[in-house]
């Protein structure tokens, strides 16, 4: 027989044998997949942000069906997606509070300054590695948009004032921006129309803070003294508002001498 023809025949036979083995293996090793997993995956927004605590949307869908995970953990999807998943699973959706990102920095160009001009890679992480950043305040927004680059919803941008600003209509609270910020000034909190937050992360003493930013928290404790619910504490020269204790009276907003406490929806 012609060697070339023989080679073709041998390869064809091997291919057929391999195909038979694969078909047999797929039948013997078949694991039934609950169709609810695919339905829930389709209902999820596909952000794969990890805010639910799972590796991604498909993994979250699987844990809902197989492990009984809660149906309302999808932060980007909110109440709408929670309701759809609940319908698929035949359970109650429960409450799913809307979550939004908050940039805790008021250090605009008018209120702070730069230590030096950075001409390297336009990245917050890159400039952070050089003497802790180019800003006079080592705790503020670096302004190079690492948060913008990772946002899948076009919900956060660095303004011409040099500080990242969240578009609250577009923000889904997925937390990608918070993870990307090397100065950890972005947090994800429940949306509320009246509860304020401290838009500063400077932990230096008041006098030093005033030297680098006119809008920095000086730890004067006036806000804490004014709060009727003891929802404000001052630690490491920085005020912090416990959102669970806060009732939204906004007395702290009025008392803050540097105007660093704001209601995000109104700021």
> What pLDDT digit, counting tens, does each position of 85-127 carry?
999 999 888 766 788 999 999 999 999 999 999 988 999 999 9
Per-residue pLDDT band for 25 (boundaries 50, 70, 90) equals confident
pTM (predicted TM-score)? 0.76
Residue 1 has pLDDT above 70, yes or no: no
- pLDDT at position 53: 83
Q: Is 170 exposed, middle or buried (0-12, 13-18, 19+ CB in 10 A)?
A: exposed
Question: How far is C-alpha 191 from the geometric centre of its chain's CA atoms?
Answer: 14
% pLDDT > 90, the chain: 69
Q: How many Å apart are CA 171 and CA 160, to the nearest integer?
A: 20
Q: How many Å apart are CA 222 and CA 95, to the nearest integer?
A: 35
Residue with tokens 């293996």: 25
Residue with tokens 């008021």: 106
* Closest by CA position to 146, among listed 120, 176, 117: 176
Cβ neighbours of 113 (radius 10 Å): 14
- Grouping H, G, I as helix, E, B as strand and the rest as coil, residue 14 is helix
């Amino acid at each position: 027989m012609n060697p070339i023809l023989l080679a073709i025949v041998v390869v064809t036979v091997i291919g057929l044998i391999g195909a038979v083995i694969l078909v047999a293996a797929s039948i013997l090793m078949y694991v039934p997949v609950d169709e609810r997993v695919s339905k829930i995956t389709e209902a999820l927004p596909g952000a794969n942000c990890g805010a639910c605590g799972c590796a991604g949307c498909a993994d979250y869908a699987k844990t809902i069906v197989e492990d009984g995970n809660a149906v309302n953990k999808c932060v980007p999807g909110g109440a709408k997606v929670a309701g759809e998943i609940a319908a698929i699973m035949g359970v109650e959706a429960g409450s799913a509070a809307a979550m939004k990102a908050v940039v805790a920095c008021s250090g605009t160009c008018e209120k702070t300054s730069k230590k030096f001009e950075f001409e390297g890679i336009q990245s917050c992480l890159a400039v952070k590695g050089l003497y802790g950043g180019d800003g006079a305040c080592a705790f503020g927004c670096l302004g190079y948009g690492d948060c913008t680059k990772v946002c899948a919803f076009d919900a956060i941008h660095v303004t011409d004032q040099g500080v990242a600003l969240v578009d609250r209509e577009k923000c889904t609270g997925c937390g990608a921006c918070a993870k990307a910020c090397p100065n950890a000034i972005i947090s994800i909190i429940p949306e509320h129309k009246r509860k304020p937050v401290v838009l500063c992360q400077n932990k230096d003493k008041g006098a030093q803070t005033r030297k680098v930013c006119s809008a920095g928290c000086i730890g004067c404790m006036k806000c804490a003294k004014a709060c009727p619910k003891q929802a404000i504490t001052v630690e490491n020269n920085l005020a912090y508002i416990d959102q669970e204790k806060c009732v939204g009276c906004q007395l702290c907003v009025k008392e803050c001498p540097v105007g660093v406490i704001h209601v995000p929806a109104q700021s």
